Structure 1
Amino acid sequence: MSFKLFELMLKIGTLLAITPTSPSVNESETIRRKLYALLVVATLAAGVVFSSTALNFYRDSFGLLRLILYQNDLILSVLSFYVITSYTFWKRRQWTELVRKLEASAKMVQMDKTGESTILHYVFLALSHAVFFAVITYKMYSWYQIHGYGVVKWYNVRVVEEYICFFYVILLATLVNTFREMYKRLNRNLALWLAREGELGAVVRKTGFVCCFLKETVNVFNDLFGWPIFFLVGHVTHQILLYAFFAIWNKTNSLEVSSNALAVLVMLFLTLMSFFICDNARQEAEKLVALSYKLRWSQALGQARKQELYELINLILNNMPKFSGANFFDIEKATLLNILASVGSTLVLLVQFSDK
């Protein structure tokens, strides 16, 4: 990972008070930052209350659809308020701990702190933002053409909330990609270390220590981002459900369908990318187990050395990386199938209720 890119993302996040000002939290700015966070929360809350009560945008929707629409709005608002308040008031220590562990882990696996392909990381960040704002602009234009200026005023609050959601998907993808690269580098290093004769004992101890340390770092990551992951997956699931329904509902304008579809595709792509990166990080850890098994049976080792490798295998298996959404679900490919099944079942209910 490019730590400079990480620092840039934190600076962008400070504009909305959704990240610390820097990886190393400066305690001298605590009061100023807390006041700014409270101001952002108050502004967002006022906008949410106004858009929900004054415009009453969902008044013409039938019961079940209205419930799902309000759930989606609630998830977005809770995500925004959570990341602002938690990372300002009670998750500051975890931020500092995560950054320190990431830096220490990078040194342990001998990964360059500046990261590889740094330019590509910046290009991805710039392009993703350009696509996001282009889609949002098109969506606001379509809503203005269909519903008028009043709805566009309501949507201004949603733009901020959806950007927070988008920003955290990008941030999460960046961080989990870091874990994947670290496990990949550890695999490479283990093969190189074991090529040196007479150092098996030291290599086993070093590999075991790094695996435990990486697992601790993943645990800090889950503690810090577990709830945002839960809300992000909930929001994307609601988006897929709602806009799939709007696409097949004959009362929806084609311009609105196209703008909604683009918005869903952007978030869906980024979310799927994060899921696959998490799954790939676990696969890299599993390769460590396979390599250790291979070494245990392919070399002419004494019983003591074989026992060391056996213990290393057990240690790796007990410290496999597991990314979760607030301990409600694990981020893996199987979870995607469960989400699609839930979306399909609820979509059938929506279609049935819409015909009544």
Structure 2
Amino acid sequence: MYLQLFYLVLRCIILEMLLSRYHHQNKVLERATVQNILKISKKTKHDLLTLKNAIKTFNDIFGWASLLDILSASLGTLIHLDFLVRNEIHLDFLAALFGITILLLCWGYILVDVCLCDSILERYDQIVMAACQLEISMSDAGSLEKEESVSLKQMVCQNRPEFEAARFFALDKTALFKIVNTIVTFLLVIIQLKSNL
């Protein structure tokens, strides 16, 4: 249990660090001019590839933990909802309250993780827009600067980060709705089974 919470907090910290680096890259691209495009482009390409590799490593390290945390929280939620449907919660109120508190804490960290992943993807969309605007602003520049801006835009468009839960599904805001949909579906099955008994 404590290791699970440690991984959840650690993922939040690392995702916040990645988000700040993508924010920095966006600011660098927004400040690019004709005079410094060659220097900025080379550094930005290197930094974005490094960040993409960092996210790949993040997925390798935390992908299975993310998947297992989501499964654990989902199953725990279903177990507690099953107790509520069966009216067995009165047997051990303090244990049930402790379990629900831990579940809410886990869901809170999962929500923060998924929102941070989605924020990084939104920030990357802003980087793509900045690269496109840079390419447009370089249309009057020399051929070397123009080629460099086109090369930068292509590189940015081809290296979009992806957060995954053990390569089963993407970690973005749509994943939250899919998880809630699955829990509600199973809850309806539990209610139907109870009514049949």
Q: Give the TM-score taking structure 2 as reference length.
A: 0.89
Give 1:322's aligned amino acid: E
Alignment partner of 1:245 out of 82, 86, 94: 82
Q: 1:248 deviation in Å?
A: 3.4
- Greater helix content: 2
1:322 match: secondary structure: coil
Q: 1:165 deviation in Å?
A: 0.9
Q: 1:249 deviation in Å?
A: 3.0
Structure 1 unpaired stretches of 5+:
1-161
2:121 corresponding residue in structure 1: 282
Q: Is the 8 A contact 1:246 1:257 kept in 2?
A: no
- 4+ aligned runs moved over 4 Å, structure 1: none
Report 1:205-354 matches (<5 A). 205-253=42-90, 255=93, 256-299=95-138, 300-354=140-194
Alignment partner of 1:174 out of 5, 9, 13: 13
Q: 1:319 deviation in Å?
A: 1.3
Query: In the aligned structure 2, how far is the partner of 1:340 from the partner of 1:346?
Result: 10
Question: Percent same amino acid among aligned pairs?
Answer: 22
Q: Give the TM-score taking structure 1 as reference length.
A: 0.51
Q: 1:287 deviation in Å?
A: 0.9
Higher-RCO chain (CA-CA 8 Å, sequence separation at least 6):
2
Question: May I ask how many residue pairs the two structures share in their alignment?
Answer: 193
Q: Is the 8 A contact 1:240 1:264 kept in 2?
A: yes
Query: In the aligned structure 1, how far is the partner of 2:60 from the partner of 2:19?
Result: 18
Query: In the aligned structure 2, how far is the partner of 1:287 from the partner of 1:296?
Result: 14
Q: Is the 8 A contact 2:28 2:40 kept in 1?
A: no
Query: In the aligned structure 2, how far is the partner of 1:242 from the partner of 1:311?
Result: 53
Query: In the aligned structure 1, how far is the partner of 2:89 from the partner of 2:73?
Result: 20
Q: 1:217 deviation in Å?
A: 1.4
CA RMSD of aligned residues (A): 1.9
- State the Cα deviation string for residues 230-275 of structure 1 (Å, max 9, x = none): 1111111112222233233323218254333222211111110011
Q: 1:223 deviation in Å?
A: 1.4
Give 2:176's aligned amino acid: L
Q: Is the 8 A contact 2:45 2:155 kept in 1?
A: yes
2:89 match: secondary structure: coil
Give 1:176's aligned amino acid: L
Q: Is the 8 A contact 2:59 2:165 kept in 1?
A: yes
Query: In the aligned structure 1, how far is the partner of 2:168 from the partner of 2:63?
Result: 9
Q: Is the 8 A contact 2:29 2:134 kept in 1?
A: no
Query: In the aligned structure 2, how far is the partner of 1:239 from the partner of 1:343?
Result: 10
Q: Point out the more displaced range, 339-348 or 252-261.
A: 252-261
Report 1:64-213 matches (<5 A). 162-192=1-31, 194-195=32-33, 197-213=34-50
- State the Cα deviation string for residues 198-241 of structure 1 (Å, max 9, x = none): 22122112111111111111111211222111111111111222
